[in-house]
Amino acid sequence: MTDNKELLTPEDEQLLQQFFTEHKQAIPDQGFTRRVMRRLPLRTLLFEKLWTTLCAVICVVMFFAMDGIHQVFRPLGAFFYHCWERLGQIPPVNLSLPNLYYTYVLATATLLVIVSYNLINDHR
């Protein structure tokens, strides 16, 4: 099926819909679904809850037994320490009036480009 042609014409679809509407049969449930749901073993549900709880407890115990807190926070602490060091190495910014003016013009031009791009794409 490499082509995009429809297999059924709209008339065929209407005929099929009419056929199925006319020949629809309702099958009475008579409480069958409720009886099946009552007979499902509760033991399986209890086993699943116990298994999940047991696995969670084992994970928590292993996390603390293997010094998980230090394994998580040591790299994070090193990362933030190096970030703080790098911030101290940034040279001071020259806030003279021409520099602020050029920054303002550049930011305004960027904003205009973004807004115009979004407007053009909305019209497509």
What is the rounded distance in angstroms from the CA atom of residue 15 to the CA atom of residue 21?
10
Divide the 124 residues of the chain into consecutive groups of 10 and give the mean pLDDT of each group.
65 90 86 84 80 94 89 89 85 71 88 92 76
Residues near 68 by beta carbon (within 8 Å), at least 6 away in sequence: 62
- C-beta of residue 16 within 8 angstroms of C-beta of residue 8: yes
* pLDDT recorded at residue 23: 86
Tokens of 34: 């409720």
Residues near 62 by beta carbon (within 8 Å), at least 6 away in sequence: 68
Closest CA to 113 of 123, 105, 101, 124: 105
